Structure 1
Amino acid sequence: MSFRRVLGYYKSRMARLPGTPHSIAAGFAAGAAVSFTPFMGFHFLLGALVAWALRGNLIASALGTLVGNPWTFPFIWLAIYEVGAAIMLDSESRVPLDDLSLSYLWNHIGDVLVPMMLGGAILSVIVWPLFYFPLARGIERFRKMRFERRLRKRSTEVAVTGQAIGQDPA
């Protein structure tokens, strides 16, 4: 199955979730934003908490956390570290990326985690509206088109049978 087809399937599934376009978009955006934090293993919980606080859809927040996945996490972690380290402006405690190893990370967890938390908070605030606004508009459009399609189908059935659906032919 092609990537485009899979993406189209998930878009339609997202638009069919129960709730308002705001709740679905807010939930998904909360999950996506939480994916930009260094708290691996807690993204589902954090996404659900943020979605709940924003009156977002909890299922959509779980789907939103899939923005962070094994293919995107290395880029996300590098981005949140670089943003946090740049804001801290502390070049002496900056982790040398060419000498990066698991033992170095374990021994200097504070030098890595603090900039990642700061960068993650900043990028999460930026990422949330980037997902929310297009998704809310897309869901509204999808539902409007779906409603119009149902009206057209119903009017075609009335024209063919001469009666509305659910009426007794008496």
Structure 2
Amino acid sequence: MLFRRRNEESAWERFRVWLWPRRSFSRSFQYFSKRILRLKATPHAIAAGVAAGIFASFFPLGLHFVVAAAVCWLIAGNLVAALLVAAVGGNPVTVPLLWGASWETGKLILQEDVAANGTPEHLSAMLHHMSFAQLWRPVLEPLAIGAVPLGVLFGLLFYGVTRWGVGVFQEKRRRRLAEKAARQQQRPGEFGGVGSAFR
């Protein structure tokens, strides 16, 4: 198969690349930024999709893609942009920061004191058994409640930045394509003029 790897990657290698990209996080960020800028949609749709992805990134993994798609549909955003941003937001570097901020904000909204050790009693046993009823009150409820205001705040911020950036990028691309079309229209006349000079 064309462009297929000579040696298949192991599960550990794929996990390591997920944790730390081969070409650094800045290169990966540039790649995803260009993918979003080059989407064929209106500035509002792309910016709304990015905002939906940012909003969903504050929610637990597994739910963030569903939340991104639902919010994207509600605000008429671009689904590809939403899922790309949600995928980037679910990386191992940002997840602890986003979840920690959501959990602390949720505890503050619910006006519940955080335990001295920072975790509820028997949390490890709850996570081992994955009991939703037991996890809801101490972990999932503050996490979900705290994710909403943070997601809205950062979603609006990224919406404004993305809409401006996409508008500038698309305007430059329109000018570049118009100039290219104008040059192509002038070339037949130029060749005709050169040919007529030799007649």
- Residue deviations 1:28-47 (CA, integer Å, cap 9, x gap): 21011111123x21211211
Q: Is 2:77 the counterpart of 1:50? A: no
After TM superposition, the runs of 4+ consecutive aligned structure 1 residues lying more than 6 A away are: none
Does structure 2 retain, via aligned residues, the 8 Å contact 1:29–1:61? yes
- The 3 A distance-change label for structure 1 pair 48 and 104 is closer
Does structure 1 retain, via aligned residues, the 8 Å contact 2:32–2:84? no
Q: Is 2:164 the counterpart of 1:137? A: yes
Partner Cα separation in structure 2 for residue 103 and residue 49 of structure 1:
32
Does structure 2 retain, via aligned residues, the 8 Å contact 1:27–1:56? yes
**Bigger Cα displacement from structure 2, 143-152 vs 7-16:** 7-16
Q: Is 2:43 the counterpart of 1:16? A: no
% identical equivalent positions: 36
Partner Cα separation in structure 1 for residue 93 and residue 159 of structure 2:
22
TM-score by length of 1: 0.81
Note the 1:35-46 alignment, pairs <5 A: 35-38=57-60, 40-46=61-67
- Residue deviations 1:135-162 (CA, integer Å, cap 9, x gap): 1111111010011111222222333332
Q: Is 2:137 the counterpart of 1:115? A: no
SS in 1 for 2:77: coil
Q: 1:153 aligns with which of 163, 177, 180?
A: 180
Gaps of 5+ in 1: 164-170
Partner Cα separation in structure 1 for residue 55 and residue 124 of structure 2:
26
Structure number with bigger Rg: 2
Gaps of 5+ in 2: 1-22, 191-199
RMSD: 2.3
- The 3 A distance-change label for structure 1 pair 149 and 73 is same
The alignment of Structure 1 onto Structure 2 pairs a total of residues equal to 160
TM-score by length of 2: 0.71
